[in-house]
Amino acid sequence: MRWQHEGRLISPGEFIPLAEETGLIVPMGEWALETACGQLAQWRARGKGDFYVGVNLTASHVQQRDVERQVGDLLPKQGL
């Protein structure tokens, strides 16, 4: 994930700690996971091959009580 702000590309090393402090890191992780799964489903539907993608989640996200349910619900929703 990258953040472009006022023509400047801000590295994850700069904004991830801020996202963790403000509690935005979990929604960002959810967005990244859903976006990656949706893209993978599109590629597979277009015959681009049967491959996998990886999504890095922070410890904050993984420690959420319902992270397994979130992933379990997301995969069939995206056709994976």
Contact (CB, 8 A) for 1 and 28: yes
Contact (CB, 8 A) for 15 and 3: yes
User: Which pTM value belongs to this model?
Assistant: 0.80
pLDDT digits (tens, 9 = 90+) for 12-57: 899 899 999 998 998 999 999 999 999 999 999 998 877 888 888 8
Three-class SS state of 26 = helix
Residue 77 has pLDDT above 90, yes or no: yes
Rg (C-alpha) for the chain, rounded Å, is 14
The predicted structure's pLDDT at residue 24: 92
Q: How far is CA 54 from the centre of its chain?
A: 9
